[in-house]
């Protein structure tokens, strides 16, 4: 683990880590888009989350740790989806300096507000291309 940091969420301790450079780049490139409703691809979102969680460890009561390197380990050692969501956000915040000091939510809101018009425009154009063209009635 690179620069591990212990955090606690709902009474459960975890070690989070800085991401290696190329893994961090991949996760940051995929993560914001994959979680947007109706646009994101859940499979990509899930794969990205699992890749990121490989750099998280669950700290057991005896102080030993277990790396959350696959879906089964995540399901067995993260109590619920809310803790998982908080863990994901903690990892993003820890690995992206521009998410610090409460800027994470503001960044995501700004990203979504900038992306929404472009996405709407793309979908409108696509919808027009896919809908059947009405034939003009000829009158003689």
pLDDT for 21 equals 92
Quick check: helix, strand or coil at residue 95? helix
Structure tokens at 42: 């859940």
For residue 103, is pLDDT > 80?
no
pLDDT for 38 equals 57
pLDDT for 71 equals 96
Which tens digits make up the pLDDT trace of 116-125?
666 666 667 7
- The owner of tokens 């989350």 is 49
How many whole angstroms separate alpha carbon 116 and alpha carbon 136?
A: 34
pLDDT for 5 equals 96
Nearest CA to 44 among 56, 55, 32? Answer: 32
How many whole angstroms separate alpha carbon 36 and alpha carbon 101?
A: 23
CA separation (Å) from 93 to 19, 32, 64?
12, 13, 25
Please state the rounded mean pLDDT for residues 53-71. Answer: 96
pTM of the model: 0.66
Structure tokens at 116: 């929404």
Which tens digits make up the pLDDT trace of 16-48?
999 999 998 888 888 776 666 555 677 888 888
């Amino acid at each position: 683990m690179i620069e591990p940091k212990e955090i606690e969420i709902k009474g459960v301790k975890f070690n989070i880590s800085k991401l290696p450079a190329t893994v961090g780049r991949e996760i940051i490139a995929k993560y914001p888009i994959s979680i947007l409703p109706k646009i994101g691809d859940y499979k990509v979102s899930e794969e990205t989350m699992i890749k990121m969680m490989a750099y998280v460890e669950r700290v057991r009561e005896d102080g030993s740790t277990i790396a959350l390197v696959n879906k089964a380990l995540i399901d067995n050692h993260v109590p619920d989806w809310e803790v998982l969501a908080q863990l994901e956000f903690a990892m993003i915040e820890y690995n992206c300096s521009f998410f610090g000091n409460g800027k994470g939510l503001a960044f995501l809101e700004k990203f979504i507000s900038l992306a929404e018009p472009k996405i709407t425009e793309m979908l409108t154009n696509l919808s027009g291309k896919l809908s059947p063209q009405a034939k003009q009635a000829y009158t003689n």
